[in-house]
A and B are shown apart, each in its own frame.
Chain A
Amino acid sequence: DIQMTQSPSSLSASVGDRVTITCRASQSISRSLNWYQQEPGKPPKLLIYVASRLQSGVPSRFSGSGSGTHFTLTITSLQPEDFATYFCQQSYNTPKSFGQGTKVEIK
């Protein structure tokens, strides 16, 4: 099974900050990597798919990059509604494992 490891597990940031979250796969997954945002009490929301493609309706301050085993999610100019938990997920093969999540909190 492919293990997904996110870092950091949590971070504190201010509105307007640039934030970067990293996701590493235990083996190469090409570009089969998705990013989700989850607010408390809500289902996850798709942000980025195939490593760098922005889901329709998602603000352009979100971007994704990477391939192989190393991926990043970047939020430029953090907004109040961006304080949430972010998960990566590999879609290379089953089981389609998730990272453990990164909680973005207000500093």
Chain B
Amino acid sequence: QVQLVQSGAEVKKPGASVKVSCKVSGFTLTALSMHWVRQAPGKGLEWMGCFDPEHGERIYAQKFQGRVSMIEDTSTDTAYMELSGLRSDDTAVYFCASENLNKCLDVWGQGTTVTVSS
């Protein structure tokens, strides 16, 4: 049974960077396709990107290209999402979620609230 546990809430100033972690248990990170999705307050879900283990590549939504980095530490089975150049509209809950063979996000982390405020 895969479980994903994310790091705690963050408050950042505009222009700063944030790094959110997602610890995998019950499975090995190398076998998972980890996705990152965010949700601004009162808004819908926004797909940010993922790691494709089959091709060994990271795929980012164009909106975040150049500002986002998704990395995997296989020694600790922990995935990280780092977002730089934070703006107030990056205030959101950030979720990690694993994709299964049916190409759906069947396991989600609890979410990490990131607040960007001066």
CB within 8 Å of B: which residues of A?
Answer: 1, 32, 34, 36, 38, 43-46, 49-50, 53, 55, 87, 89, 91, 94-101
- Which of these, A38, A46, A101, contacts B106 with CB under 8 Å? A46
On chain B, the number of residues with a Cβ less than 8 Å from chain A's Cβ atoms is: 23
- Which of these, B61, B102, B109, B110, contacts A95 with CB under 8 Å? B61
Tell me, rounded to whole Å, the shortest Cβ–Cβ distance linking B6 to chain A: 10
A46 CA to B106 CA, complexed, in Å: 6
Name the A residues within 8 Å of B108 (CB-CB).
43-45
Tell me, rounded to whole Å, the shortest Cβ–Cβ distance linking A51 to chain B: 11
A45 CA to B50 CA, complexed, in Å: 18
Nearest B residue to A35 by beta-carbon distance?
B104
Which of B39-47, B71-79, B81-89 lies at the interface with chain A? B39-47
A17 CA to B9 CA, complexed, in Å: 39
B102 touches A49 (CB 8 A): yes
Name the A residues within 8 Å of B47 (CB-CB).
89, 95-98
A96 touches B95 (CB 8 A): no
A32 CA to B99 CA, complexed, in Å: 13
The DSSP consensus for interface residues of chain B is strand
Tell me, rounded to whole Å, the shortest Cβ–Cβ distance linking B32 to chain A: 15
**Contact residues of B between 54 and 83, Cβ < 8 Å to A:** 59, 61-62
Tell me, rounded to whole Å, the shortest Cβ–Cβ distance linking B3 to chain A: 12
Assuming the contacts A46-B106, A49-B102, A91-B104, asked whether A98 and B62 have C-beta atoms less than 8 A apart, the reply is no
Nearest A residue to B59 by beta-carbon distance?
A94
A87 CA to B47 CA, complexed, in Å: 12
- Which of these, A1, A38, A49, A101, contacts B104 with CB under 8 Å? A49
Tell me, rounded to whole Å, the shortest Cβ–Cβ distance linking B52 to chain A: 9
A7 CA to B104 CA, complexed, in Å: 21
Name the A residues within 8 Å of B105 (CB-CB).
34, 36, 44, 46, 89
Name the A residues within 8 Å of B61 (CB-CB).
94-95
A34 touches B45 (CB 8 A): no
